[in-house]
């Protein structure tokens, strides 16, 4: 491994077990017989002990691992994060003196941080084909005596990740275990916030005692995750987002004389920032690198008075719909759920929601619909959608003219384009700026810019009569990172809608036009 020094495993595989010396805590709390819990059942289990300046506690931590766990796990790896004390030397000496082939000791040449040390440890376990890894801290704050309680649900296939919780009161609760009151209050506040944002119901987010399925971790992108302490929060976010099963087991709380390297206020800020960055990325407001794999360029807009809100009101159930520029098919899926028959056209090879469409035709829209016109359903459509499409085209009039014959006599076309006269853009120009972005009105892929007047004129020039016009709300839920369905966000959306109705040219985010084709006498329409 690059940047590491490693003490190699000898060929013998039976360790000379350390004497089991449980914490005095378990003199008052009976220690459960773990002979059944510790069974590996053919799973390859590794224990990852992350350490930094743990010379005074590491030996005790290793002695507190029960004999049943030692017998069932394949490897116990101490990852020393460039400690400034003798942590590495003590671990190497112990391995040599006790002749312990299951113990591996690794030292980083440079400090990687708490999250970076974990990331290196998980990669080590994945490269060696382990099935389960348990994270244990070398400072003794988490009880090695109950390691089997953490990995048993994974062995049984009941979870993909198991977190130890100090808030479950089987062992007396956190305050009885010596957790400072301010840390207890901060833990509860942050956990409440994280549960609300993520839709979870965990009793604690901030325990570092955890077990993971390596199959789950292999599907997590660690590349841009933080090396800091809120790595533990980011990994919960990713596990939950990707649908992995998370469960909790009670663990005792212990606060001794170990040094704490966590700045509580800084940690809390980082946790809140991680949640905000996740919501902004998944809400398609802005892509942050640690969650960039969840970025959707054109997400479904769930807010009141958004473009997709109006689509649901302009398109009736069981109509035939042509969705041009359908993207991943999120709108098509919603329409199909209402009984509509949807044909999609886009440049993607295979849309995520392609199964929701009756037909899907791949076509680079910048050249118009010519390549697929003869493959589009011969029957005319009740509705044609051009949502956030025209601004991407070098000649938007071409598609508008090609669409006319595809509409039923009483069919309607629904067009949405960004409003370049929006207040935010006017203010940018006032200060001499015109900065492109990843999405929004100044999306860097936009080739055309429209005002209410110019988009109306374009449709009229292409043979359409405008029946209704709407200006959509500024997407405040994306800017604020709020749930669009929450009561607060609905109140904000209602207030914004009032302003937008009064000042559509200034406050409108998008212009939406609902139009019909004007019959051409010469064509017999």
β strands within 94-139, DSSP E? 103-108, 132-137
Mean predicted confidence (pLDDT) in 431-439:
88
Q: What's the CA dihedral at 271, 277, 281, 287 to 10 degrees?
A: -130
Please name the CATH architecture into which domain 4-293 falls: Alpha-Beta Complex (3.90)
The rounded distance, in Å, linking the Cα atoms of 340 and 358 is 10
Query: In sequence order, what are the residues at sequence separation of 6 or more whose Cβ sits closer than 8 angstroms to the Cβ of residue 20?
Result: 63, 64, 65, 66, 67
Residue 240 has pLDDT above 70, yes or no: yes
Question: Mean pLDDT score of the chain, rounded to an integer?
Answer: 90
pLDDT at residue 30, rounded to an integer: 78
Domain ranges of the chain: 4-293, 307-523
Q: What percent of the chain has pLDDT over 90?
A: 74
DSSP annotation of 441 reads T
Question: Nearest to residue 72, comparing CAs of 17, 129, 128?
Answer: 17
Q: How confident is the model at residue 256 (pLDDT cuts 50, 70, 90)?
A: low
What is the pLDDT, as a whole number, of residue 293? Answer: 92
In angstroms, the CA 177 to CA 137 distance is: 17
- With contact defined as beta carbons under 8 Å apart, do 49 and 77 qualify? yes
> Domain 307-523 is of which CATH architecture?
3-Layer(aba) Sandwich (3.40)
pLDDT at 302: 77
In whole angstroms, give the CA distance from residue 378 to residue 372: 12
Q: Is the predicted pLDDT of residue 8 greater than 70, yes or no?
A: no
**pLDDT by residue (tens digit) across 144-196?**
999 999 999 999 999 999 999 999 988 888 888 888 898 999 999 999 999 99
DSSP letter, residue 434:
-
Please give the pLDDT value at position 284: 73
Q: How far is CA 181 from the centre of its chain?
A: 31
| Residues near 41 by beta carbon (within 8 Å), at least 6 away in sequence | 155, 156
The per-residue pLDDT for 261 is 60
pLDDT in tens, 257-292: 555 566 778 999 999 999 999 988 887 777 899 999
Highest average pLDDT, of 61-75, 470-484, 511-525, comes from: 61-75
Give me the count of residues in the chain: 525
Tell me, what's the pLDDT at 278?
93
Residue 97 burial (CB count, 10 A): 9
Q: What is the pLDDT of residue 521?
A: 56
Q: Is the dihedral of CA 31, 33, 35, 37 positive or negative?
A: negative
User: Which letter does DSSP use for residue 460 in this model?
Assistant: H
- Percent of the chain at pLDDT > 70 equals 94
> Is residue 27 scored above 90 in pLDDT?
no
Tell me, what's the pLDDT at 189? 95
User: 19 to each of 25, 54, 59, 60, 65, how far by Cα in Å?
Assistant: 17, 20, 11, 10, 9
Q: Give yes or no on whether 4-293 and 307-523 have one common fold.
A: no
Region 73-81: mean pLDDT is: 97
**Residue 480, pLDDT score:** 77
Q: Is the pLDDT of residue 110 over 50?
A: yes
Q: What is the pLDDT of residue 432?
A: 94
Sign for the CA dihedral angle at 241, 244, 245, 251 comes to negative
The predicted model gives 486-511 an average pLDDT of 93
Range in 196-205, 331-340, 513-522 with the lowest mean pLDDT? 513-522
Q: Is the pLDDT of residue 431 over 60?
A: yes
Does residue 58 register a pLDDT over 90?
yes
Q: What is the pLDDT of residue 285?
A: 73
Which residues, other chains included, contact 235 with Cβ-Cβ below 8 Å and sequence gap of 6+? 220, 225
CA distance 94 to 100: 8
Q: Identify the residue with better confidence: 471 or 523.
A: 471
- What's the CA gap between 445 and 455, in Å, rounded? 18
Q: At 318, is the secondary structure helix, strand, or coil?
A: coil
Rounded distance between C-alpha atoms, residue 150 and residue 209, angstroms: 8
Q: In this predicted structure, what is the pLDDT of residue 17?
A: 63
Q: How far apart are CA 454 and CA 226, in angstroms?
A: 46
pLDDT number for residue 142: 94
107 vs 439 pLDDT, higher one = 107
Residue 48 in this model has a pLDDT that exceeds 60: yes
pLDDT for the residue 257: 58
Please write the tens of the pLDDT for every residue from 308-343. Answer: 899 989 999 999 999 999 999 999 999 999 999 999
């Amino acid at each position: 491994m690059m940047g590491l020094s490693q003490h190699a495993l000898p060929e013998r595989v039976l360790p000379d077990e350390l004497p089991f010396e449980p914490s005095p805590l378990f003199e008052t709390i009976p220690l459960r017989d773990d002979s059944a819990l510790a069974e590996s059942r053919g799973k390859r289990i590794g224990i990852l002990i992350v350490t930094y300046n743990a010379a005074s506690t590491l030996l005790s931590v290793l002695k507190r691992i029960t004999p049943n766990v030692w017998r069932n796990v394949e490897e116990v790896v101490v990852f020393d994060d460039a400690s400034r004390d003798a942590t590495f030397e003590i671990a190497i000496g112990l391995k040599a003196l006790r002749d312990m082939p299951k113990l591996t000791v690794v030292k980083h040449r440079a400090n990687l941080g708490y999250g970076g040390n974990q990331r290196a440890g998980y990669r080590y376990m994945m490269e060696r084909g382990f099935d389960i890894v348990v994270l244990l801290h070398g400072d003794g704050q988490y009880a090695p005596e109950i390691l089997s309680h953490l990995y048993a649900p994974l062995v049984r296939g009941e979870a993909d990740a198991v977190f130890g919780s100090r808030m479950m009161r089987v062992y007396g609760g956190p305050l009885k275990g010596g957790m400072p009151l301010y840390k207890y209050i901060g833990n509860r506040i942050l956990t409440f916030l994280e549960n609300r944002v993520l839709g979870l119901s965990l009793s604690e987010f901030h325990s570092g005692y955890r077990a993971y399925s390596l199959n789950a971790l292999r599907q997590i992108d660690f590349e841009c995750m933080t090396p800091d302490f809120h790595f533990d929060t980011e990994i919960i976010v990713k596990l939950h987002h990707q649908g992995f099963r998370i469960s909790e087991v009670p663990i005792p709380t212990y606060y001794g004389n170990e040094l704490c390297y966590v700045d509580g206020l800084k940690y809390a800020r980082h946790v809140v920032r991680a949640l905000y960055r996740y919501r902004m990325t998944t809400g398609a407001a802005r892509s942050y690198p640690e969650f960039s794999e969840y970025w959707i360029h054109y997400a479904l807009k769930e807010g009141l008075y958004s473009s997709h809100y109006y689509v649901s009101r302009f398109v009736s159930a069981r109509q035939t719909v042509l969705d041009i520029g359908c993207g991943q098919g999120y709108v098509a899926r919603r329409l199909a759920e209402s009984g509509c028959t949807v044909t999609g056209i886009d440049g993607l090879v295979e849309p995520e929601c392609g199964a929701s469409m009756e037909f899907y035709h791949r076509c680079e829209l910048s050249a118009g619909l010519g390549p697929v016109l003869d493959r589009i359903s011969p029957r005319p459509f009740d509705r044609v959608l051009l949502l956030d499409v025209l601004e991407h085209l070098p000649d938007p009039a071409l598609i508008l003219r090609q669409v006319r014959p595809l509409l039923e006599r009483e069919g309607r076309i629904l067009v949405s384009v960004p409003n370049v006269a929006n207040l935010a853009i006017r203010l940018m120009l006032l200060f001499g700026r015109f900065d492109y972005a990843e999405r929004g009105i100044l999306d860097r892929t936009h080739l055309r810019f429209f005002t209410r007047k110019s988009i109306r004129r374009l449709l009229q020039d292409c043979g359409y009569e405008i029946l209704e016009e709407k200006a959509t709300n500024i997407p405040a839920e994306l800017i604020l990172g709020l749930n669009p369905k929450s009561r607060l966000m609905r109140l904000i959306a209602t207030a914004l809608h009032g302003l937008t109705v009064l000042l559509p040219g200034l406050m409108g985010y998008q212009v939406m036009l609902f139009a019909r084709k004007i019959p051409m006498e010469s064509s017999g329409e």
